[in-house]
Structure 1
C-alpha cells in the first residue's frame, strides 16, 4: 500500500508517453532524421520542467515524501564522461528506437520484441554495477 502512489505515477507516466507518441519508433526515427519537431518539443519541455523543479527544491528547501531532506550535490565537470556516456546512450536509443522510459510502455502496449532490449538494459546495468569502481567518474 505504501508504494501505490509510485505505481499510480508510473501508470500516468506510461499513459502520457503512449498518448504523446513519445514511445513511437516512427517519432524517434523522425527526430533522428530532423524531420519532425515533435520529440524535440517533448524533450525540451521535460528539461525545462526538470530545471524549474530542481531550482524550486534548492531555493525553498523542499522535503521528500517521507520528510527527509533532499541532497543535491554538484558534480565535478568533465567533458569526456558526458561525451562517452551520451554517445553510448544515443547509439542505444537510435539502434533500439527507445530510451529507458518508453521501453516498459512499449512492452505494456504489446510490442514484445522490446523485452530483448529490456533484458539488455538490465544486463548493462548489472555490468555497470560490477565495474563502476574501476570506471572514471
Structure 2
C-alpha cells in the first residue's frame, strides 16, 4: 500500500507542477526577471502558486501534527538538531542560484523530461552528476563541528 500511495502522491505533485507552469523554465525565468516589470514582460502568476503552496502547507502541518503518528509510518521523522551549520546555509544558496540561472529545480526537471527537450535532459544529467559529486565530497570530509549560530 505504501508504494501505491507514494506513486499517487508523486503523480499529483507532478500534475501540479505541470498545471502551474513550474516545469516550464521560461515561465519561471519570466517570474524571476524583476527587471521586466517596467517593460511589461514580468509574469507574476507564480506568486499564486507559491501562495497556494504556503496555504496548503500551513493548514496541512497544523492538521497532521495533531495526530499521534503519521498515517503510513510509526513516527514522525523530524530533524533533531537545531544547529545551523555551513552546509545548511550554503546548500540553499547554491540551489537558489541554480534555480535562478536555469529556471528549473529538481522536481520540475524530472517532470519536464516528458517534454523531450535536449536542454532538460542535459540539465537532469548534470544535476545527477552534481548530486553524486556532492555526496562523494561530503563522505570524504569530516563532519563540520563549527556552527554558524555559535
Q: Same fold (TM over 0.5)?
A: yes
Structure 1: runs of 5 or more not aligned: none
- Counterpart in the other structure of 2:112: 106
RMSD, aligned CA = 2.6
Match of 2:44 in 1: 37
CA distance in 2, matches of 1:18, 1:74: 34
| Structure number, greater radius of gyration | 2
RCO comparison, higher one (Cα < 8 Å, 6+):
2
Listed as ranges, the gaps of 5+ residues in structure 2 are 35-41
Secondary structure of the equivalent of 1:69?
coil
Q: Does 1:95 align with 2:105?
A: no
- 1:31-87: per-residue Cα shift (whole Å, max 9, x none)? 21132322222123223322333333333223241x411132354243854542222
Q: Which residue of structure 1 lines up, in the alignment, with residue 68 of structure 2?
A: 61
CA contact (8 A) 1:56 1:62 kept: no
Runs of 4+ in structure 1 over 6 Å off: none
Q: In structure 2, how many angstroms separate the alpha carbons of the residues matched to 1:101 and 1:18?
A: 11
| TM-score of the superposed pair, with normalisation by structure 1 | 0.78
CA contact (8 A) 2:20 2:46 kept: no
Moved more, 98-107 or 69-78: 69-78
For the residue of structure 1 that corresponds to 2:66, the secondary structure is helix
**Residue from 124, 129, 132 that aligns with 1:126:** 132
TM-score (norm 2): 0.73
Deviation string 1:79-118 (CA, Å, 9 cap, x unpaired) is 8545422221112112222111110111112223211111
For the Cα contact (< 8 Å) 1:64–1:70, is it kept in 2? Answer: no
How many residues are treated as equivalent by the alignment?
136
